[in-house]
Amino acid sequence: MTDQTTEQETEMSEHGPVPWAELATDPATIERYQAKLHHRGPDACAYWTGAISSSGHGKLRAGSRSSGSSRVVTAHVLGYVIAHGSAALSEGHVVRHVCDESSCQQPAHWIAGERVDNIRDYYARAHRAGHALGDVRGPDGRAVAIRDAILAAQATGADVEAAIAVAIAAGNPSGSVQDTLF
C-alpha cells in the first residue's frame, strides 16, 4: 500500500489534532468531499478529482472557519470516518488501500491497519509488473494523471473509462498487464 508517509497520523495542521468526529458529521464537509469523487461502480476504484498530495493522496479543506475546525485533511481518511464513524479510526492506525491506488475513495477498498502492514505490502507488491506501486511516475504522478484524465474527458464529453485506462497504462511503459489483486 502506498502510504509511506506519516501524513495521516500527524495531521495536526493549523489548529491541533483533527476533530474527525466533528468533520465526519459536518454536512458542508461531506458535500465538499462527495463533490470530488468519481464513482465507477460498487467495486471499482473511485478516484479523487481534487488536490493530490506528494504521496498521491487526495486532499481537501474540511470543516468551517467560523467554528475553528477548518483544515486540510487526507481525503480517504475523511471518507473512512464518514463511512464508519470517527471511533473506527484507532489511534496510531492508518487507513490503507487494498487496491494500492493512493487516491482511491472506494470504501470497499479501505482497511484500517498499522504502518508496518503498509511497508510489508509495499515490498511484497512493488516489483510486480504493471502494478500501481510500480508506476514509473510514482503514486502522486499516477494519481494526478488519472485525475486529469477524468476531468479532461468529462469536460470534452469523451469516454472517461477509456481515458482512465490510457492514463494508467502510461505509467507502465513495459506494457505488462496489471495484476488482479482480489
Which residues of the shown chain bind Zn ion in the complex (CB under 5 A)?
45, 99, 101, 104, 106, 109
> Three cell numbers at 119?
511497508
What is the SS3 string spanning the chain?
CCCCCCCCCCCCCCCCCCCHHHHHCCHHHHHHHHCCEECCCCCCCCEECCEECCCCCEEEEECCCCCCCCEEEEHHHHHHHHHHCHHHCCCCCEEEECCCCCCECCHHHEEEECHHHHHHHHHHHCCCCCCHHHCCCHHHHHHHHHHHHHHHHHHHCCCHHHHHHHHHHCCCCCCCCCCCCC
Residue whose CB is less far from Zn ion, 71 or 76: 76
Residue whose CB is less far from Zn ion, 26 or 101: 101
Least distance in Å: CB of 32 to Zn ion?
21
Least distance in Å: CB of 7 to Zn ion?
19
Amino acid at 21: A
Residue whose CB is less far from Zn ion, 101 or 121: 101
Number of alpha carbons in the 13 Å side-chain half-sphere of residue 20 = 23
Least distance in Å: CB of 104 to Zn ion?
3
Residue whose CB is less far from Zn ion, 61 or 131: 131
Residue whose CB is less far from Zn ion, 1 or 99: 99
Least distance in Å: CB of 146 to Zn ion?
11
Least distance in Å: CB of 43 to Zn ion?
9
Least distance in Å: CB of 46 to Zn ion?
7
Residue whose CB is less far from Zn ion, 15 or 39: 39
- Residues contacting 84, CB < 8 A, separation 6+: none
